[in-house]
C-alpha cells in the first residue's frame, strides 16, 4: 500500500480502480509553408469549430454546475476572439511562413507565460485557460485526440492537471473522484468538483506511471489522502465509512426541504453555527433555516491588525446576501479567554475565563466596537441580519450597548450612509444572565443560550482540565433548569429563545428542548438533518406525559 | 477624446468574467477604447489585454474613448464599470 497526501477540495470517499489521464501529446512541428492564405483559412475554420465546442461545453456546464461555473467557457470563447492572440498567430504565420499549429503553440505559450508571471493567484490560474484554448485549437488542427481510453467501469481519475473543459467532459457516471498533481483549491477544476459533489484532491505528489495506473485506490476527501493498492484493513475501514456517508446522504435527500415540525405541530427553527465565510456552502447543503451563530471573531483572528469597517462590511454583506432573506445572527467580537489576538495587546490575566473578554472589551474600547457595529448596521440593509452580544451579565451592560448603538446610527445618518434595523439579542452564557433573564428579556429581541460557558460557569468546572471529567455532567439538572427558566422568561416577554452551544446538537436532548419550548437550535451544519429527523418523529405532548 | 477615471471596487479586481463582459460591451462601439493602469495601456477589445493589467481592488484605471461614437461609448462603458467593477 502507498499513501499520498493532497489538498482536499471536496470531501467524501471514493473506492475504485485508478485511471491515469494522459493529455494527448501535442507534438507540434514547425514546418515551412508557402500558401499563408490557406494556412490562415485553416485557422479560421479551427476557431469556428472550437467556438462551437465551447458553446456545447457551456450548455452542458450550465445544466450541471450552474451559470457562475459555466461562465468560464464563455470566457474561453472570448479568448478565442482576442485581438492580440489572433494577431500574434497571424503574424507568426505570415512573417515566418510557418504552419498554423506552430503559431498557435507559440502564441499559447507566450500568453500563458504572461499570466503565469503575474503577482496575483487568480490571474496565475488563468494561464491554464490560455493553455486550454490553445490545446483545443491544436487538437482540432491536428485531428489528434486526447484523453483517456473509454472506461468500462467508474474510475478514480489521476492527472497532472485537468483543464476546466476536460473536467466537464468527463462522463460523470464513470468518475468516482479525481486527483491532480497540480492545481489549487480555487482553480475552476476544484470549484467544479465541489459543484459535482465528487471527492477530489489537488496538489497531490504522486507518480503518473504504472505504479498507480490500473491499481485499486481509495480517495478520502476528508483527510486529503489517496491510498494506492490499499491493504485489507484500510479497505474494510474505508468501506464502512463510505457506507456511513451513503446513509447520511440518503437521509439528506429525504429530509431536505422539509419543515421542522413535530407530529403534534410544534415548530422549531434549525439554524447553523459557522466560524468562517467558507462554511456557507455547508450551510446551504444541509438545508439550514438560517445562521444562528456567526462567530465574527475569525475576522479578527485571521488578521494581524484591526479589520477595517469596509472589510467587515463586505463579509457581513456577503453572508446576508448568500442567505437571501434568511436570518443571520452575527455575534459581536468574542475574544479573550482562550481566543487571543496579539494586536489587541491585552495584559496577562490570572483567570482569563473570568476576565477581560467579549462585551467587556467592546464596552471599554468603544472605538473597536463601533467599527464592527457600523459594518453590521450597514450590512443589515442587504439581508436579515441579527446582532448578538456575548457575555452579558447585567441590564446596565445592555443599556450601555444601546447608547453606543444610538451613536453609531446617528453617525451613519449624518453621513447619509444607508443602514438596516437588525434584531438585537444577547447570549445567555453566565449564570447571572440566566437568573435575571426576566429583566433582560424586556430589553432585547431574542436570547441565545451559550451552553458551553453557561455549563462551565454554573458547575465551576474547567472543560479543558481532563482531571475534572468525572465531575462534569453536561446534562446536569442545574443547567437544564436554567435553560428552561430562560425560555419561560423569554416567552413571558414575547421574545424567542434558542440554544447555540454544543448542547443544542446533543440529540439525546432534542425532545427535552422541544418540551421546554425552545424556539431555535443552532448547530453545526452536519447536525441539522439528523435533528430534523428527531423533530419530525416526536410528539411533544406524549413526550411530556411520559417524562 | 473622452476620459474616464475609475477606482476598482470589486473584491476580485478585473477578473475573467467582467473582463469578458467589458470586451463584449466595447465591441458594440466603433470608437477605440483603451485602458491604462500605471505605465501599461491596453486595447479594451481584447480580453487577454484587459486581464493582463491585473487591476485589483483599490487601483485606479483610466479609460480613453476616441472615435465617432465616443460619447455613447463613454456613457455606456463608464456605467458598466460602476455597476460591475
Residue A329, pLDDT score: 98
| Average pLDDT score over residue span B20-39 | 89
For the residues of A322-354, what is the DSSP string, one character each? HHTTS-EEEE----BTTB--GGG-PPP-S-GGG
* Contact list, B17 vs chain A (CB under 8 Å): 71, 74-75
| A538 half-sphere exposure, CB direction, 13 A CA radius | 27
Which CATH architecture fits A1-23+147-234?
3-Layer(bba) Sandwich (3.50)
* Contact list, A83 vs chain B (CB under 8 Å): 43, 45-46, 49
Domain region containing B40 = 2-84
For residue A143, give Cα distances in angstroms to A46, A128, A132, A136, B9: 10, 22, 16, 10, 45
Torsion of CA A521, A526, A527, A531, to 10 degrees: 100
- Indicate the average pLDDT of chain B: 88
Interchain contact, B52 vs A118, CB within 8 Å: yes
More confident residue, B4 or A399: A399
Mutate to test the interface with A, among B7, B14, B48 (most CBs of A within 10 A): B48
Interchain contact, A83 vs B43, CB within 8 Å: yes
**Å from B8 to nearest chain A CA?**
14
- Which of 172-211 (A) contact B at CB < 8 A? none
Residue A539, pLDDT score: 96
Residue A337, pLDDT score: 72
Mutate to test the interface with B, among A82, A117, A187, A311 (most CBs of B within 10 A): A82
A275-495 CATH = 3.20.20.60
Q: What angle do CA A117, B22, B60 make, to 5 degrees?
A: 60
Residue A164, pLDDT score: 67
As annotated, the residues of chain A forming the CATH 3.20.20.60 domain(s) are 275-495
d(CA A475, CA A458): 12
A111 at the B interface (CB within 8 A)? yes
Q: What is the pLDDT along chain A (547 residues), one digit of tens a residue?
A: 999 999 888 888 999 999 888 765 566 788 888 898 999 999 999 999 999 988 988 888 887 777 777 888 888 898 898 888 999 999 999 999 999 999 998 898 888 888 888 877 777 878 888 888 898 898 888 776 544 445 568 889 898 887 766 776 666 678 888 898 887 665 666 766 766 678 899 889 998 888 888 899 999 988 899 999 999 999 999 999 999 888 877 877 788 889 999 999 999 999 999 987 877 877 887 889 999 999 998 889 888 889 999 999 999 998 998 888 899 999 999 988 777 778 888 888 888 888 899 999 999 999 999 999 999 999 999 999 999 999 999 999 999 999 999 999 999 999 999 999 999 999 999 999 999 999 999 999 999 999 999 999 999 998 777 788 888 888 999 999 999 999 999 999 999 999 998 899 999 999 999 999 999 999 988 889 989 999 999 999 999 999 8
| Average pLDDT score over residue span B10-34 | 86
B13 at the A interface (CB within 8 A)? yes
Active-site residue (options: A188, A362, A415, A491): A188
Nearest to B46 among A75, A82, A115 (CB): A82
Contact partners, residue B76, CB within 8 Å, separation at least 6: B25, B28, B29
CA A48 to mean position of chain CA atoms: 38
Top-tier CATH class for A25-142: mainly alpha
Q: Report whether pLDDT(B31) > 80.
A: yes
Nearest to B16 among A84, A114, A126 (CB): A126
The answer for A332, left when phi > 0, alpha when psi is -120 to 50, beta otherwise, is beta
User: What whole-number percentage of chain B has pLDDT above 70?
Assistant: 100
Contact partners, residue A309, CB within 8 Å, separation at least 6: A371, A372, A374, A375, A378
Task: List the CATH number of the domain containing B77.
Answer: 3.30.1340.10
The three cell numbers of residue B33 are 477604447
Mutate to test the interface with A, among B17, B20, B50, B59 (most CBs of A within 10 A): B20
Question: How many residue pairs bridge chain A and chain B with CB atoms within 8 Å of each other?
Answer: 54
- Catalytic, A500? Answer yes
d(CA A335, CA A391): 11
Report the predicted TM-score, pTM, of the whole model to 2 decimal places: 0.58
d(CA A79, CA A126): 11
Residue A407, pLDDT score: 97
* Contact list, A118 vs chain B (CB under 8 Å): 52, 54
Q: Are the C-beta atoms of residues A184 and A190 closer than 8 Å to each other? A: yes
Residue A148, pLDDT score: 47
The residue among A537, A528, A539 whose CA lies nearest residue A504 is A528
As annotated, the residues of chain A forming the CATH 3.50.30.10 domain(s) are 1-23+147-234
Residue A533, pLDDT score: 92
Active-site residue (options: B6, B10, B15, B45): B15
Interchain contact, A78 vs B54, CB within 8 Å: no
Q: Are the C-beta atoms of residues A530 and A507 closer than 8 Å to each other? A: yes
d(CA A11, CA A14): 10
Q: Which residue of B has its CA nearest to A73?
A: B17
Q: Which residue of B has its CA nearest to A75?
A: B20
Q: Which residue of A has its CA nearest to B52?
A: A115
Residue A469, pLDDT score: 81
Mutate to test the interface with B, among A73, A107, A120, A123 (most CBs of B within 10 A): A123
**Å from B75 to nearest chain A CA?**
23
**Å from B19 to nearest chain A CA?**
9
Q: Which residue of A has its CA nearest to B50?
A: A82
Amino acid at each position: 500500500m502507498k499513501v499520498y497526501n493532497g489538498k482536499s477540495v471536496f470531501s467524501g470517499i471514493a473506492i475504485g480502480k485508478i485511471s491515469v489521464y494522459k493529455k494527448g501529446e501535442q507534438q507540434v512541428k514547425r514546418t515551412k509553408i508557402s500558401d499563408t492564405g490557406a494556412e490562415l483559412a485553416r485557422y479560421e475554420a479551427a476557431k469556428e469549430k472550437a467556438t462551437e465546442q465551447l458553446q456545447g461545453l457551456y450548455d452542458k456546464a450550465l445544466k450541471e454546475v450552474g451559470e457562475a461555473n459555466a461562465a468560464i467557457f464563455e470566457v474561453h470563447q472570448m479568448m478565442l476572439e482576442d485581438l492580440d492572440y489572433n494577431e500574434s498567430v497571424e503574424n507568426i504565420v505570415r512573417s515566418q511562413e510557418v504552419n498554423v499549429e506552430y503559431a498557435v503553440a507559440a502564441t499559447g505559450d507566450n500568453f500563458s507565460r504572461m499570466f503565469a508571471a503575474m503577482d496575483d493567484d487568480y490571474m496565475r490560474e488563468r494561464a491554464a485557460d490560455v493553455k486550454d484554448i490553445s490545446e483545443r485549437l491544436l487538437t482540432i488542427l491536428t485531428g489528434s485526440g486526447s484523453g483517456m481510453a473509454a472506461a468500462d467501469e467508474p474510475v478514480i481519475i489521476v492527472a497532472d492537471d485537468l483543464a476546466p473543459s476536460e473536467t466537464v467532459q468527463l462522463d460523470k457516471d464513470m468518475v468516482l473522484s479525481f486527483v491532480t498533481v497540480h492545481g489549487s483549491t480555487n482553480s475552476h477544476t476544484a470549484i467544479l468538483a465541489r459543484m459535482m459533489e465528487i471527492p477530489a484532491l489537488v496538489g497531490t505528489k504522486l507518480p503518473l506511471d504504472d505504479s498507480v495506473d490500473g491499481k485499486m485506490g481509495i480517495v478520502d476527501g476528508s483527510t486529503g489522502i489517496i491510498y494506492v493498492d490499499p491493504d485489507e484493513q484500510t479497505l474494510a475501514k474505508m468501506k464502512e465509512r463510505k457506507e456511513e456517508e451513503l446513509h447520511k446522504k440518503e437521509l439528506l435527500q429525504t429530509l431536505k426541504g422539509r419543515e421542522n415540525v413535530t407530529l403534534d405541530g410544534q415548530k422549531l427553527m434549525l439554524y447553523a453555527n459557522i466560524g468562517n465565510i467558507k462554511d456557507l456552502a455547508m450551510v446551504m447543503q444541509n438545508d439550514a433555516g438560517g445562521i444562528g451563530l456567526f462567530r465574527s471573531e475569525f475576522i479578527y483572528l485571521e488578521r494581524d491588525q484591526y479589520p477595517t469597517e469596509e472589510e467587515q462590511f463586505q463579509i457581513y454583506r456577503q453572508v446576508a446576501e448568500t442567505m437571501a432573506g434568511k436570518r443571520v445572527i452575527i455575534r459581536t467580537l468574542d475574544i479573550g479567554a482562550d481566543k487571543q489576538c496579539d494586536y489587541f495587546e491585552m495584559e496577562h490575566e490570572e483567570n482569563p475565563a473570568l476576565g477581560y473578554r467579549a462585551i467587556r472589551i467592546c464596552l471599554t474600547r468603544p472605538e473597536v466596537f463601533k467599527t464592527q457595529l457600523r459594518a453590521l448596521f450597514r450590512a443589515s440593509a442587504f439581508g436579515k441580519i441579527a446582532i448578538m452580544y456575548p457575555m452579558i451579565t447585567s441590564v446596565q451592560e445592555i443599556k450601555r450597548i444601546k447608547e453606543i448603538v444610538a451613536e453609531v446610527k446617528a453617525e451613519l445618518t449624518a453621513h447619509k450612509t444607508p443602514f438596516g434595523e437588525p434584531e438585537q439579542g444577547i447570549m445567555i452564557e453566565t449564570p447571572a444572565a440566566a437568573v435575571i433573564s426576566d429583566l433582560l428579556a424586556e430589553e432585547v429581541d431574542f436570547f441565545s443560550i451559550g451552553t458551553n460557558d453557561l455549563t462551565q460557569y454554573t458547575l465551576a468546572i474547567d472543560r479543558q482540565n481532563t482531571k475534572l471529567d468525572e465531575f462534569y455532567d453536561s446534562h446536569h439538572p442545574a443547567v437544564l433548569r436554567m435553560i428552561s427558566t430562560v425560555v419561560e422568561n423569554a416567552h413571558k416577554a414575547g421574545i424567542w429563545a434558542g440554544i447555540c452551544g454544543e448542547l443544542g446538537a446533543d440529540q439525546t436532548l432534542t425532545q427535552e428542548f422541544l418540551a421546554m419550548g425552545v424556539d431555535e437550535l443552532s448547530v453545526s451544519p452536519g447536525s441539522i438533518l439528523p435533528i430534523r429527523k428527531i423533530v419530525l418523529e416526536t410528539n411533544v405532548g406524549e413526550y411530556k406525559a411520559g417524562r | 477624446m473622452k476620459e474616464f477615471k475609475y477606482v476598482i471596487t470589486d473584491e476580485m479586481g478585473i477578473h475573467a468574467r467582467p473582463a469578458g463582459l467589458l470586451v463584449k460591451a466595447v465591441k458594440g462601439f466603433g470608437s477605440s477604447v483603451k485602458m491604462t493602469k500605471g505605465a501599461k495601456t491596453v486595447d479594451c477589445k481584447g480580453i487577454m489585454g484587459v486581464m493582463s493589467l491585473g487591476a485589483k481592488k483599490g487601483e485606479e484605471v483610466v479609460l480613453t474613448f476616441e472615435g465617432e461614437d465616443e460619447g455613447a461609448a463613454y456613457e455606456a462603458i463608464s456605467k458598466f464599470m460602476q455597476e460591475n467593477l
